[in-house]
Amino acid sequence: MVAAHTGHSSASAEWIICLDKRPAERSGEDVDIILARLKRVKAFERFHPSLLQQICLCGYYECLERGVTLYRQGDIGTSWYAVLSGSLDVKVSETVNHQDAVTICTLGIGTAFGESILDNTPRHATIVTREFSELLRIDQREFKSLWEKYRQCMAGLLAPSYGVMESGGPSPDSEYKTIAPSVMSIYNVPSEKIMRAGKVLRDAILSRAPHIIRDRKYHLKTYRQCCVGTELVDWQMQQSSCVHTRIQAVGMWQVLLEEGVLNHVDQELTFQDKYLFYRFLDDEQEDAPLPTEEEARESNEELQDTLLLLSQIGPDAHMRMILRKQPGQRTADDLEIIYEELLHIKALSHLSTTVSTDSVTFIIHCRPYTVALFNQGEEGTSWYIILKGSVNVVIYGKGVVCTLHEGDDFGKLALVNDAPRAASIVLREDNCHFLRVDKEDFNRILKDVEANTVRLKEHYQDVLVLEKSPSSNSTTSSSHYKYTVMSGTPEKILEHFLEMMRLDSHLNESDPALDDFVLMHCVFIPNSQLCPVLMASQGSEQERLDYTLNNKRRVIRLVLQWASVHGDHLQEEDASLAFLEEFFVSVSDDARVIPALKYQLPELEKIHKVLLRQFSMGDEKLQKRQAIKSNDEILFKVYCSDHTYTTIRVPMAASVREVISAVADKLGSAEDLLLVNLSSAGGEKVVLKPNDISVFSTLSINGRLFVCPGDQLDSLMPLPEQEGPSTGSLGSFELMSSKDLAYQMTLYDWELFHCVHEHELIYYTFGRQNFKKTTANMDLFLRRFNEIQLWVITEICLCAQLSKRVQLLKKFIKIAAHCKEYKNLNSFFAIIMGMSNPAVSRLSQTWEKLPSKFKKFYSEFESLMDPSRNHRAYRLTVAKLDPPIIPFMPLLIKGQCSPTHFFFFFFQRMIANTVRIVRHCRSLPFKPSQTSKNHPDVRSYVRQLTVIDNQRTLSQFSHRLEPRRT
């Protein structure tokens, strides 16, 4: 084994140290730490927890420098590998000379390879590290043992991620399938589960409603043991609490049709809720037996779980069903469903409705060991978007130049230039799903897009790009068209909105695009630049009076909307306050000579009120929360290395440099000091950068701020209070009703959520350092999620009695159910994720004694956390809810970006849409329930949770409760 790389952080070194131990020497805590790390690795995300735990027991850690050959083509393998970090090149040679090897793909983080050890066949390729890489290795004997024990679980999860490129290109008769072959499921669910689901439904129908499956006559022809599509849907909706609409029910039957468990008598591949005949696979036989009493009983017991399984994968099947239709056959409902779903695909999110819905075709590349989608030099016939899976872009002589993932697209260059393919596309994994736009449709799209695009140029450069589209309001223009901003410079975008503003409409009837601009302008034109532009936009004395009047009215409307959206944030900027004062005086002066402006003066007067408020992070938890502003002052303790502390008062948005200066003044110190975020684990010391702002709200649950000279950094130790509680709160907690706890949690979460200003989403997305603004309300709301998650883990791990732990699991599942009932998805997901933490999920004795009813609830709740298709299960759940809603905020937060001068407005609309989701969630107030009592003790309890936030400590407690079985 190669020695561990010296560049590891202390946080990552912990699990490496655990893996470096001999398997027999690994403790239960070691296994939990390794398990927590591997759960975040893509290669293992679909492994059963018990299998993954066995891998933690027998796996080894290896790290290799760049250019190391792991093994060569033709070698007999001895180990299986998974890539934890770095990347490795896959080289294949058509001769025995390794110098002739060509790189056909690259294995990145999350890929696994080396299955040839199962049958001792020679290695198909040479593997060479492309950069410093970390691998998990399992020796042949242990891997074979795992395979024998978990064959059913591992089958389909270990398909090779590379192979030999075909020189002649893919065969046309087998490259694309609109339905997967029976040997492989197109779902993240084993085929045998879906086969079992079909049998359960058939047997349940025969025992509950035998008239549905019977011989039928149609057009003088008899169809044996058939059922009708509309009857199947009706019966299913009567049986299930999971299905809400007929569309969802159709998707569930489409799953069985795609897998061949249900067949259309005329071999149609699309399930229809009509008088069409279908036959279950078991009834294809001439003498298909009826279910026995035992089989009928089992089917009835499994029915709800089966319907739940199908309801989770049905929406994807329904989507594929629509995409397989010819564009002309898609209904208006179909187009709406496609458009709504494709908005979440990166490559299509900025296209118009027409482009996104009437030209795409769905395909599955389902040949298990074929890797070449198309080859360099071939004629380009289609544009592709990756719906599921990933591909490598390979250029002859250069090897892999990049990797494309879900949401990326490829193949446009050959179509635009009418040239051969510039690269080969190699599948990185099996069972990839694509959307395809053929060349004729692609050219039409380009033609339509260009014909509907208006470009304004200055000095030969685009300064404003508009898209022409049909108007939903016929009064907007005589031609019934409108022009939507696609991109442009900030000044030209502002100028366009002022010119197009309608003065005959009410303030709350403004253009959604203008709303987006007002909301998002801080990203690309800050207030310091916007205010002078607005003042100058009013016009001058030399201009015609009617033009000046209308222009002034437009600017006043924009200022009013700007002030109403940005609210208290304007009070934090002297320049903005000065502008509002100057603007008000200017409009007042103009109103003396232009009476039409007098009607807008009262609204302008309302924005001159300035409120001052202070904030600290102490006992105010028990008071109703108020939103925190950047200039609010905070009282905060900063600790020294000897655990003494000093209390400072600084603005919430103070920089680290300002905090250190305030501490140095208090301490009378002239030394160069560091400000350190010290976690409860002690080993995680984060030295904060001088320009970091608002660090108080970003601390971990039990984290503290320390200040020290540089030479004392290594000696910093956490405070005793950071360890968290040593005993659980079960004594008081068990006396509180689950509904009251969920209700009080929802009240507190709603206060936190309601304080999050819309702009904090923007600052958080683009990086608050770009705006020098606090995101304290967002930070505290996100931290609440972690606090509840850790509360669940802490209480269970501190509960010594097995029977009490079972009661705790039941209670937490009940609380989660009530949180879901109150539409508090933030606490709901926090509780479920807490129960899935390794320190809790490993308590097999506790889980075994949990009643099956609660296991079923937990499984159903856990399924809503499925991250596939951009968390589609969660999105579908939220779409059915009416406000007020407390959303799962981490899913709404996007990656950080940097503002640019030429701003692409479609990206702005995506961020603004997130803000609109938050607005929708808060559009109605959360009103106290008339039936729930406001218990002061419950209210106090949920607002002052004490938790352990050290995973190693939690694992140690867990293993004391239930030592690992040998």
Residue 484, sorted as left (phi over 0), alpha (psi -120 to 50) or beta, turns out to be beta
Q: Does domain 9-153 have CATH number 3.40.50.300?
A: no
- Fold classification of 489-612 is Son of sevenless (SoS) protein; Chain S, domain 1 (1.20.870)
The per-residue pLDDT for range 14-53, each reduced to its tens digit, is 788 888 888 888 888 888 888 888 877 766 766 777 788 8
Q: Does domain 192-324 have CATH number 1.10.10.10?
A: yes
pLDDT mean over 392-416? 81
Per-residue pLDDT band for 170 (boundaries 50, 70, 90) equals very low
The per-residue pLDDT for range 209-251, each reduced to its tens digit, is 888 888 888 777 788 888 888 888 888 888 865 555 777 788 8
The per-residue pLDDT for range 64-87, each reduced to its tens digit, is 999 899 998 888 888 989 888 888
What is the chain's percent helix, strand, coil content, to nearest 5? 50, 15, 35
pLDDT of residue 472: 55
The residue count of the chain comes to 966
pLDDT of residue 364: 56
Quote the DSSP letter at residue 351: S
Lowest mean pLDDT among 164-178, 318-332, 613-627, 894-908: 164-178
Q: Comparing 9-153 with 729-961, is the CATH topology the same?
A: no
Asked if 648 and 639 count as a contact pair (C-beta separation under 8 A), the reply is no
pLDDT of residue 525: 73
Q: Which two tokens stand for residue 782?
A: 């996100």
pLDDT mean over 679-688? 82
The per-residue pLDDT for range 939-960, each reduced to its tens digit, is 999 999 999 999 999 999 999 9
Q: Which residue has the higher pLDDT, 5 or 126?
A: 126
Paired strand residues for 362:
435
Whole-number percent of the chain with pLDDT over 70: 77
Tell me: pLDDT of 916 over 50.
yes
Tell me: pLDDT of 765 over 80.
no
pLDDT of residue 477: 43
Per-residue pLDDT band for 360 (boundaries 50, 70, 90) equals low
pLDDT mean over 173-195? 45
Q: Which residue has the higher pLDDT, 355 or 111?
A: 111
CATH match for 335-447 among 3.30.1280.10, 2.60.120.10, 2.40.30.10, 3.90.1170.50:
2.60.120.10
Q: What whole-number distance in Å separates Cα of residue 452 and Cα of residue 466?
A: 8
pLDDT of residue 163: 33
Whole-number percent of the chain with pLDDT over 90: 18
Q: What whole-number distance in Å separates Cα of residue 481 and Cα of residue 328?
A: 24
Name the 3-class secondary structure at 451.
helix
pLDDT mean over 464-492? 66
Tell me: pLDDT of 542 over 70.
no
Tell me: pLDDT of 965 over 80.
no
- Using CA atoms, how far residue 833 sits from 42, 52, 752, in Å, is 18, 18, 20
Q: Which residue has the higher pLDDT, 131 or 316?
A: 131
What are the structural domain ranges in the chain? 9-153, 192-324, 335-447, 489-612, 633-722, 729-961
Per-residue pLDDT band for 799 (boundaries 50, 70, 90) equals very high
pLDDT of residue 350: 54
Asked if 422 and 413 count as a contact pair (C-beta separation under 8 A), the reply is yes
Q: What whole-number distance in Å separates Cα of residue 446 and Cα of residue 636?
A: 58
The per-residue pLDDT for range 416-454, each reduced to its tens digit, is 788 888 888 888 776 677 888 888 877 777 777 667 777
The per-residue pLDDT for range 132-158, each reduced to its tens digit, is 998 989 999 888 888 877 765 565 455
Rg (CA), the chain: 31
pLDDT mean over 912-937? 78
Asked if 223 and 230 count as a contact pair (C-beta separation under 8 A), the reply is no
pLDDT of residue 180: 27
Q: Which residue has the higher pLDDT, 815 or 937?
A: 815
pLDDT mean over 703-718? 91
pLDDT of residue 99: 66
pLDDT of residue 9: 42
Q: What whole-number distance in Å separates Cα of residue 71 and Cα of residue 62?
A: 14
Residue 361: phi, psi to the nearest 5? -125, 145
DSSP 187-202: SSS-HHHHHHHHHHHH
pLDDT of residue 709: 92
**Residue 85 burial (10 A CB sphere; 0-12, 13-18, 19+):** middle
Paired strand residues for 139:
79
Asked if 404 and 394 count as a contact pair (C-beta separation under 8 A), the reply is no
| Mean pLDDT over each residue of the chain, to the nearest integer | 77
Assigned CATH class of 729-961: mainly alpha
CATH match for 633-722 among 3.30.465.10, 3.30.930.10, 3.10.20.90, 3.30.530.20:
3.10.20.90
How far the first Cα of the chain sits from its last, in Å, is: 27
Q: What distance lies between CA 773 and its chain's CA centroid?
A: 25
pLDDT of residue 171: 32
**Between β-strands 102-107 and 88-92, what pairing exists: parallel, antiparallel or unpaired?**
antiparallel
Lowest mean pLDDT among 345-349, 362-366, 404-408, 492-496: 362-366
Q: Which residue has the higher pLDDT, 714 or 221?
A: 714
